[in-house]
Structure 1
Amino acid sequence: MPFSVHFRVESDDADYGNLAPAPISGLNADVAPTLDYSDLDELTDGALLAGLYARIGGHQVYGYRGVNSARTLLFGTVDVQDGLIESLYNGAVIEAPGESILAFQSGFNTEHTWPQGQFDRLDPMVSDLHHIFAVDRTSNSSRSSYHYGFNAAATNPSSRLGPNVNGTGDLVYQVRPERRGDVARAHFYMVARYALDSTIGIVFDDNDRSADGAIDDKEEAVLREWHAEDPVDDRERQRNERIEAFQGNRNPFIDRPDLAGRIRDF
């Protein structure tokens, strides 16, 4: 039975024994999107989400641990730029290790932008490359499974957790400006990919509307702002191409950022 766990540390520190090198090569980002969205141009809201799910559902699942797992693909290809890997949250850089065990030894970990506790750490969600990113371990621990948002305490580049600027006192995690759009579009993808998938169970906590397949209302407002503030860049496009080569599906909000504006409630 699905359940949701909020505000706990999401750590991947254990169980590295089965990881081994995998022969993974880089891919060319200069490729036109393989999906045609033109037949969705008149759709909005639920109809648009259904149309997107028909295109991106049922992707190739690699699993989260072991040889050629999602973590190996992440550190071996997906997040590699010029032989380096950059932390999503604070911009720290390490040489691309090729293996997640070596990344961990270098102070990095795997960040699930959509917290693992909200789907019981199960496949296909836990290993879906469209929402997992390389990140430094300090930031990974600090973010835990808090909602994203604006806070007044985001001064330390390794720890951007702080009280919400709306004065409610709840803690939120603020992402650096140059990667905010990446996080927003990853969240939009997760709703389009899984909210209509009857084969799995995910619990979302959106103002007590549990299991409604939605992003928290306040968080969604922030993510929409971040989506507009930080447009899709070449790195994000390349990442989308690389993930499609492995999983066989794309993040449509990278291909067509305008789609988010035609969905009133994620």
Structure 2
Amino acid sequence: MKKHYQCILLLFLCNIAFSQDVVINEIDCDTPSTDTKEFIELKTPNPNTSLNGYVLVLYNGSNTSSTGGKSYYALDLDGLTTDINGLFVIGSDLVTPFPQLLFSQNLIQNGPDVAVIYQADATDFPDLTNATIANVVDILVYETNDPDVTNLLEFFNDAPGFELLEQVNDNGTNANPKSIQRNNDGTYFAATPTPRQLNDGSGVIFNPITISVTQTQYTEGETLDITFTSETNVTADATINFTLNNSGFNTSDYTGNTTVVIPNGQNTVTTSITLVDDTLDEGDEELLIKFFNLTSPYIPFNNFITVRAVDNDFVVAPYGKPTSPTYGIVSSAQPTGYYDTIDGLSTDVNSSLRNALQDIVADPATVKAQTYADVNTILKDADVNPENSNQVWLVYTEQGRAKLDIQSLGSSVGKWNREHTFPSSRGGFEEIEGSEIADGINVFWATDANFLDHAYSDAHALRAADGPENSSRNNQHYGQYNGPTGNAGSFKGDVARSVLFLDIRYNGLDIVNGFINATNNGLLGDLATLLDWHRNDPPDDYEMNRNNVVYTWQNNRNPFIDHPDLVEYIWGVNVGDTWDNSLSVTDFSTESIKVYPNPATNKLFISGTKQQYDISVFSSEGRLVLTKK
């Protein structure tokens, strides 16, 4: 509950308030229950005032002790100017009317925390900077039904002119959201949020304009209608300019007028935009409907409306998707002699075959490690949907999804993200500094078998996955996790070979039998399950193409895709046998063997000149069905 102080104290606060150049006029720190409409409103005594020289800093009040908290967000206000009412709103893209400056949803911590304005620079407040009372202009200590944090208040009370700070409660609920608002005398109250409106109801009353479209996705050649609606009827013709440009989408991609007029006495106008149907596969794009130079009394009610322009010139690959696999169409891009050094070796007591294989795929002289951010780019090519080049193919859920639907922030529903087939929490590897930067194929780290953290961004073991399904898998062992109910299981051999690759590539990782409860120990199960998955779902053209793409970035290949039999020589039925990948022999002989009946149902007879043959039977999809002498 908000605390009340004696009138003489409030008068003192009043004197402080009027001496300040810029104050925190309103804060909505908690918009139950999703925190998607948070904002901070600043106020200057005069309209159209520059905010140059100021910085807004947010502190996490839970890190209190004697420091007053640690910073988690700092925003330079240079170049910003308050509006005709002396207000400037910074908030998420779902705040209405639309903020003058955006920050991400769910940014503001609920409290007890602190928002401070300084005469300073944002570079003075990197994340986790201890709070300071130097150069303070305004302070707001706020909460969401939390107990007072005494040492937090005491710390900021030492700031000159702020001896009477209180911890202000927003007192909001799901049914009745509220914000903390400043009275003209410097006190605060909680009420329904009023962004871009003076808290006492005075000043210029704006007429917000809403952008609306009937759908959010159109295909090239189609026409979309954009409607602009003012909150109240306009009292003179209202000219509205807007833009559609966004990244690669520009004026060459559409036709139509981007200036409209709401006639005097009316409140709506509609215009039509036609997407140009060209013959180029530029990929799906998104246009951004954005107001341009909207003038008072009109302000955006919403803005930055995204509409997808689907490119109908996508490419269909000559090979099949994992649920309809093809074989032999995509050739391995391995260089000549890439695997020569493993010939004649075996998984003996010295693990000579295994070690020689690691020397190839972890060669520090040739292999490159990319950043985790680069993996997004890699997957768009490596996991491309063979039926639509503008989509990725999702492991586990076995479906295509638009490349544009990659998760960045917020909900993962309907989005795809990066799935570690070997969970990092089990492998004990983590993202390293700088890995959040996508710096491209020509910038990379040197690496070897002992750089375990490079497994975090190893594209051989990262797959495009449905966001919620990725969360459902979590860090379960394979065998515990078997994919969504009713799926075809087309991913099983793929993920088996990816985690077996990591076992060879990095020291400290091991595929084991059974399910190990402990984490961060480098162990993943279940080996027996993974061997079964590998045998029953052999590498197809999709996986070979993937291997080729990753090779262009990392300069190493997954040998169990190029030579699936290697799995048997390291973990399976051929352990101890000598590997010989000779591609030719000096002489050969042939003999006739009869196999009947064809087709076979329950029995298959084989007749030849020898007493014994080694027989391997494959299904039409390339699956190994039976091995027998």
How big is the shift at 1:40?
A: 1.7
Q: CA deviation at 1:146?
A: 0.5
Letter paired with 2:419: E
Tell me the amino acid that sits aligned with residue 497 of structure 2.
R
Which structure has more helix as a fraction of its residues?
A: 1
In structure 1, the partner of 2:342 is: 40
Structure 1 counterpart of 2:562: 255
- String of CA shifts for 1:168-217, please: whole Å, max 9, x gaps: xxxxxxxx42111101100110011002xxxxx6588876999986643x
Residue 489 of structure 2 aligns with which residue? 177
Question: How far is 1:52 from its partner?
Answer: 0.7
- How far the C-alpha of 1:255 sits from its partner, in A, is 0.5
Query: In 1, Cα distance between the equivalents of 2:428 and 2:333?
Result: 33
The answer to whether the 8 Å contact 1:205/1:211 transfers is no
Cα gap change, 1:106 to 1:210, in 2 (>3 Å): closer
Q: Which moved more, 1:33-42 or 1:122-131?
A: 33-42
CA RMSD of aligned residues (A): 3.9
1:233 matched to 2:568: no
Is residue 136 from structure 1 mapped to residue 460 from structure 2 by the alignment? no
Give the conservation status (yes or no) of the 8 Å contact 2:405–2:414. Answer: no
Bigger strand share: 2
Mapped partners of 1:51, 1:110: distance in 2: 30
- Distance in 1 of aligned mates of 2:483 and 2:531: 21
Q: How far off is 1:121 after superposition?
A: 1.5
Which runs of 5 or more residues in structure 2 are unaligned? Answer: 1-105, 107-246, 249-281, 283-314, 319-329, 432-452, 576-629
Counterpart in the other structure of 1:5: none
Task: Output the CA distance in 1 between the equivalents of 2:476 and 2:384.
Answer: 27
1:119 to 412, 418, 428: 428
Aligned to 2:415: 107
Whether 1:70 aligns to 2:375 is yes
- Deviation, structure 1 residue 44: 2.2
User: Is 1:61 equivalent to 2:391 in the alignment?
Assistant: no
- Residue 95 of structure 1 corresponds to 402
Counterpart of 1:155? 485
Q: Is the aligned partner of 1:264 residue 2:571? A: yes
Shift in alpha-carbon separation, 1:98–1:220, aligned structure 2, 3 A: same
Whole-angstrom distance in 2 between the partners of 1:133 and 1:250: 16
Is the 1:203–1:212 contact (alpha carbons within 8 Å) kept by the matching residues of 2?
A: no
Shift of 1:36: 3.0
Shift of 1:153: 9.6
SS in 1 for 2:460: coil
Aligned residues of 2:422 and 2:524 also touching (Cα < 8 A): no
What residue in structure 1 maps to residue 499 of structure 2? 187
Work out which of the two has the higher radius of gyration on C-alpha atoms and give 1 or 2: 2
Residues 120-139 of structure 1: per-residue CA shift (max 9 Å, x gap): 32431110000000000121
CA contact (8 A) 1:203 1:211 kept: no
> What is the aligned partner in structure 1 of residue 20 from structure 2?
none
Aligned-residue offset at 1:72: 2.5
- The 8 Å contact of residues 111 and 140 in structure 1, kept in 2 or not, is answered as yes
State the SS of the aligned residue for 1:110. strand
Structure 2 counterparts to residues 1-12 of structure 1, below 5 A: none
Residues 1:104 and 1:245: Cα distance change in structure 2 (over 3 Å): farther
Amino acid at match of 1:53: Q
Amino acid at match of 2:338: D
- Distance change (3 Å), C-alpha of 1:153 and 1:47: closer
In structure 2, the residue corresponding to 1:135 is in which secondary structure? Answer: strand
User: Which ranges of structure 1 fall in alignment gaps of 5 or more residues?
Assistant: 1-13, 15-19, 158-175, 196-200
Partner SS, residue 571 of structure 2: coil
Q: Which residue of structure 2 aligns with residue 6 of structure 1?
A: none
Deviation at 1:236, TM superposition (A): 0.3
Cα pair 1:72 1:100 within 8 Å, conserved: no
1:53–1:101 Cα change, 3 Å? same
Name the CA distance, whole Å, in 1 between partners of 2:368 and 2:532: 31
Q: Which secondary structure state, in structure 2, belongs to the residue aligned with residue 249 of structure 1?
A: coil
TM-score, normalised on structure 2?
A: 0.31
> What is the TM-score normalised by the length of structure 1?
0.69
Distance 1:202 1:224 in 2: 17
Displacement after TM superposition at 1:70 (Å):
1.5
Deviations 1:41-74 (CA, angstroms, capped at 9, x unpaired) = 3222221111111101042112113xxx122321
Query: Cα gap change, 1:211/1:79 in structure 2, threshold over 3 Å: closer, same or farther?
Result: closer
Separation in structure 1 between the aligned mates of residue 537 and residue 345 of structure 2, nearest angstrom:
25
CA-to-aligned-CA distance 1:243-265 (integer Å, 9 cap, x gap): 00011000001011011101138
Partner SS, residue 545 of structure 2: helix
Separation in 1, partners of 2:473, 2:495: 13
Contact 1:204-1:212 at 8 Å conserved across structures: no
Task: Count the aligned residue pairs.
Answer: 218
